[in-house]
Structure 1
Amino acid sequence: MNQQLTTYIAITLAVACIAIFGIKLDQELNITGLKSDDCCTDEQLSNFQLTFDRTPCYGTCPVYSISINNSGKAIVMGHGHVEFEEIILQLTDEQLRSIAKLTYAANFYEIEDIYKQGERGCERYSTDSPHSVWSVTSGQYSNSVDFYYGCNNTPQTIPLMEEALVSFMGLENYL
């Protein structure tokens, strides 16, 4: 089974577990060679930061941003075509750990940093779609990714991570 399909299956299962059963992701996340022991120790969570921005499209796509810091404070800002202006949440340690583990399971720290029109990995694309811009740091790992939703034939890691994050934080009804 190729790496992209394996990652897709793992993220889909993670989303299902979180959304349907509300369970935490404590099992080994060995998709990228990283294991639970490599992820989410108190020391690694001490510098955990996640920022996510969903940009406008030509139409009524939701425009919002999410930031989560190492204390579990999550701020969701609505910028357009959403049902809120600001939502502030306090995540538990287990919720924060689960979100961090999801980034490991998604192979986030090893994927390309840009998927946008005309760049490598996005030679074929449709126009007028939004971007999602991510930056995540956990322990010694850090990556930033600019993903254009109009790219064809790109890894589905980023859309699945967004879906999982939105579901995990209970934001589906607001977007």
Structure 2
Amino acid sequence: MYKQEAEKQFEKQISEHKLLLHKVCRIYAYTDADRQDLFQDIVIQLWKAYPKFKGDAKFSTWLYRVAINTAISGLRKKKDFITSYKPSDLPLHLTEDASSQIEEEKSQQLYKAIEQLSQVEKAIVMLYLEDRSYEEMEAILGISQGTLRVKMNRIKDKLRQLTKTIDYGT
């Protein structure tokens, strides 16, 4: 009986936080197939760790920690993961709304720049874009708030430089 209740609760939590998981997959995997594989790996690790979740932190904080650690450890195991899978350049489609096309191009440029960051830097950026507080980031990543602030400033500078130098023609 307890196992069925735990499974239902787990499924409910995963369903409620599916977008967070997809964001982690988007940051750490570059093809649809790799994102699906990473999503499955994360869910498996979450299920394995679920009995140990005590509720000391918010579920989303715990989920982020497990998801990011799974993504990073998967990259360490598969060193060629980053270098062998590059995102394909999407063809530009003309739309009636030019501003949405510009926003999409900016978004693609940002993701292309984020791909060039280290795993830890990617995690910090993802949490920052999620409007997570430095306190929550500290709980998720295990990095002090002061260090996170310094790293975030450096990452912003790095992203500014990277988005200036990205060439879509290559």
| Pairwise TM-score range, normalised by the shorter structure | under 0.3
Instruction: Report which structure shows greater RCO (CA 8 Å, sep ≥6).
Output: 1
In the superposition, the TM-score normalised over structure 1's length comes to 0.27
The TM-score, its normalising length taken from structure 2, stands at 0.28
Structure with more strand by fraction: 1
Greater C-alpha Rg: 2
Higher helix share goes to which structure? 2
